[in-house]
Amino acid sequence: MRVDRRDAVALLAIPLVIVAFKVESAMFATLCMTLAGAVIVLAVGGHDEFPWKHRIAICAFVFAADLGMLLYLYRANAAEELKQQVAPLVAAVLPQPVSSNCPIPRNAVALYLGNRVSVITEFPHVVFRAHGEEVLRIDRDSSDLLISFRVFNDSGTLVARLDRNTFTAANSASHVERPDPSHLLVFDDLGTKVLDVQFLNPQAINMTGILRYPGMDPIIVSEKYSGQGGTISPPACSTEVESDFEVK
């Protein structure tokens, strides 16, 4: 059997496969596996001394092996993504978002809701309750955080649910993203961001979002204010409240 440059190039398949199993990006892993399969097929196809049936059989085997490894990588990445999604929020080392005259006791946590600060001294803590139903709640898991949230659309239909960081939705447009271990984002069925929670440090949580419930105007919480129905709530500092927003 003669050896040419294509055989040497085919050796590149080895580091490409290794890289595919090491990287976290599914797209880059797919690219590496595709290139690895392509260089092997190119090398095999160039050996005219082998019967064409043998070359086709080898290429088919390479294709099947490549596809099998791609499927394995996809499932492994999906499992890792789910593991990261449901993981509790871990405190970062970021400063509080705004200066506030609200005193924060040593063992308390400040929840920043636009121009409002809620001092949390015990968990679970209800952020939004409507007609006795907890729509948004923060739980503590040791020193970390778990979020529970009911996602309604503008017509008042429940489209998704986050239960202690475990997410279920009616369609793929509703989803959760975890930019980093201290950050959680929730999107509704139109792909609109409806909740943004960041565990800034052990004593500070920043939260913005669109809190909806059937039969009422949504509560809007931005970086600078919170309000409902076009009315901006005045700055406030609250301690040990049953819920930060409540509709009875």
Residue 104 inside a domain? The answer is no
Residue 15 has pLDDT above 80, yes or no: no
Strand 116-120, strand 236-239: pairing: parallel
Are 114 and 225 in contact, with CB atoms under 8 Å apart? yes
Domain that holds residue 235: 109-247
Do 124 and 240 lie in one domain? The reply is yes
> Which of 31, 55, 86 delimits the end of a domain?
86
The answer to pTM > 0.85 is no
Record the tokens describing residue 140, joined without a space: 């503590």
| Percentage of the chain modeled with pLDDT above 70 | 83
Candidate from 47-51, 130-134, 147-151, 229-233 with smallest mean pLDDT? 47-51
Q: How many domains does the chain have?
A: 2
**Alpha-carbon gap, residue 149 to 187, rounded angstroms:** 11
Residue 102 inside a domain? The answer is no
Question: pLDDT tier at 227 (50, 70, 90 boundaries)?
Answer: very high
Question: pLDDT tier at 82 (50, 70, 90 boundaries)?
Answer: very low
Contact partners, residue 50, CB within 8 Å, separation at least 6: 44
**Alpha-carbon gap, residue 150 to 162, rounded angstroms:** 6
Strand 125-130, strand 116-120: pairing: unpaired
Candidate from 4-8, 78-82, 110-114, 140-144 with smallest mean pLDDT? 78-82
Q: Which residue has the higher pLDDT, 169 or 205?
A: 205
Do 135 and 230 lie in one domain? The reply is yes
Residue 43 inside a domain? The answer is yes
Question: pLDDT tier at 109 (50, 70, 90 boundaries)?
Answer: very high
Do 171 and 234 lie in one domain? The reply is yes
pLDDT for residue 5: 64
Residue 215 has pLDDT above 70, yes or no: yes
Do 243 and 120 lie in one domain? The reply is yes
Residue 101 inside a domain? The answer is no
Do 75 and 126 lie in one domain? The reply is no
52-86 and 13-22 helices, crossing angle to 10°: 20
The mean of the pLDDT values for the chain is 82
Question: pLDDT tier at 160 (50, 70, 90 boundaries)?
Answer: very high
Contact partners, residue 100, CB within 8 Å, separation at least 6: 110, 117, 237
Do 141 and 242 lie in one domain? The reply is yes
Candidate from 31-40, 98-107, 186-195, 232-241 with smallest mean pLDDT? 31-40
> Which of 53, 86, 119 delimits the end of a domain?
86
Q: Which residue has the higher pLDDT, 11 or 222?
A: 222
Do 133 and 189 lie in one domain? The reply is yes
pLDDT for residue 240: 76
Q: How far apart are the first and last CA of the chain?
A: 83
Record the tokens describing residue 95, joined without a space: 């400063």
Residue 190 inside a domain? The answer is yes
Do 165 and 234 lie in one domain? The reply is yes
Residue 126 inside a domain? The answer is yes
Do 120 and 236 lie in one domain? The reply is yes
Do 118 and 212 lie in one domain? The reply is yes
pLDDT for residue 8: 64
Residue 97 inside a domain? The answer is no
Contact partners, residue 190, CB within 8 Å, separation at least 6: 153, 173
Residue 3 has pLDDT above 60, yes or no: no
